[in-house]
């Protein structure tokens, strides 16, 4: 029914009505985009306040409006919308960091599974570090320590809720810093999996469709991430 209404707005070239209808149909898309941008700002991967969810959604809805004739199914439409949101947020990070070209998601996730097995420890200052860093000669030399990573409290609570964690785990600055560090060390595409799950309220099946990877890969990533955050217990 909703898709038929969207097709009518498209046929009438009425982008305003199309925008309002599609925005009300997928409210989780704005939540996902807003929270993902907020998390990226907190980690310094994009400039604070430079991008906003409304601007990204404007781009997405306009692109979908132009090519809407080929869309017949509401669930498929949701997959397309979230896929575009993930890609646009990734593009912003690439622009900010001047990183290499976008690589295939499945290949990156397969490589990241091994990285998610890396063990953590704490140094003399109580900072969370990867054990592999201890073998790095540069780590043993004086250097500027990175500032503490703190996520926005609303993001912390959403992650705790979706990861089935105890909501009393973060009462102190030390715990919040550890939580932020655990989040900060998650590889790029694995973080997209977690953000779609926690911020976008997407199922494992949805995420596999959005990122175009097998469900078992998404399942393995989520299992690894849940293991990682158990370090807080």
For the chain, which residues score pLDDT lower than 50?
A: 98-102, 122-124, 126, 128-130, 132-147
DSSP states of 82-109 as a string?
Answer: HHHHHHHHHHHHHHHHTPPPPPPHHHHH
**pLDDT value of position 95:** 64
Supply 152's token pair: 């926005």
**pLDDT value of position 141:** 33
Instruction: For residue 103, report the phi and psi dihedrals to the nearest 5 degrees.
Output: -100, 155
**pLDDT value of position 6:** 94
User: DSSP secondary-structure letter at 116?
Assistant: T
User: DSSP secondary-structure letter at 135?
Assistant: G
Contact 214, 182 (CB under 8 A): no
- For residue 79, the tally of other CB atoms under 10 A from its CB is 20
Q: What share of the chain is helix, strand, coil (3-state, %, to 5)?
A: 70, 5, 30
Contact 22, 64 (CB under 8 A): yes
**pLDDT value of position 139:** 33
DSSP states of 35-73 as a string?
Answer: HHHHHHHHHTSS-TTT--HHHHHHHHHHHHHHTGGG---
- pLDDT tens track for 37-57: 999 888 888 888 889 999 999
Partnered with residue 120 across adjacent β-strands are 130
**pLDDT value of position 228:** 85
Reading phi first (left if > 0) and then psi (alpha if -120 to 50, else beta), residue 232 is in alpha
What does the alpha-carbon distance between residue 94 and residue 166 come to, in Å, rounded to a whole number?
34
Among 214, 190, 164, 195, which residue's Cα sits nearest to residue 85? 195
3-state secondary structure of 224: helix
**pLDDT value of position 10:** 93
Partnered with residue 128 across adjacent β-strands are 122
**pLDDT value of position 104:** 60
Between vectors from CA 85 to CA 21 and to CA 212, what angle results, nearest 5°? 110
* Beta strands 128-130; 120-122: pairing state: antiparallel
């Amino acid at each position: 029914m909703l898709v038929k209404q969207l097709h009518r707005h498209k046929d009438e070239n009425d982008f305003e009505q199309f925008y309002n209808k599609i925005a009300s149909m997928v409210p989780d898309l704005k939540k996902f985009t807003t929270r993902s941008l907020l998390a990226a700002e907190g980690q310094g991967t994009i400039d604070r306040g430079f991008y906003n969810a409304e601007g990204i959604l404007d781009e997405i809805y306009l692109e979908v409006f132009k090519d809407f004739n080929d869309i017949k199914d509401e669930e498929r439409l949701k997959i397309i919308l979230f896929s575009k949101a993930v890609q646009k947020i990734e593009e912003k990070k690439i622009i900010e960091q001047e990183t290499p070209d976008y690589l295939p998601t499945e290949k990156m996730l397969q490589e990241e599974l091994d990285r998610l097995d890396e063990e953590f420890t704490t140094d003399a200052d109580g900072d969370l570090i990867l054990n592999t860093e201890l073998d790095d000669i540069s780590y043993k030399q004086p250097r500027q320590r990175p500032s503490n990573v703190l996520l926005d409290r609303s993001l912390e609570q959403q992650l705790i809720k979706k990861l089935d964690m105890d909501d009393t785990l973060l009462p102190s600055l030390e715990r919040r810093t550890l939580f932020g560090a655990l989040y900060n060390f998650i590889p790029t595409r694995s973080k997209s999996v977690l953000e779609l799950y926690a911020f976008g309220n997407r199922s494992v099946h949805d995420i596999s469709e959005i990122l175009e990877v097998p469900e078992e890969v998404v399942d393995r990533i989520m299992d690894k991430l849940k293991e990682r955050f158990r370090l807080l217990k």
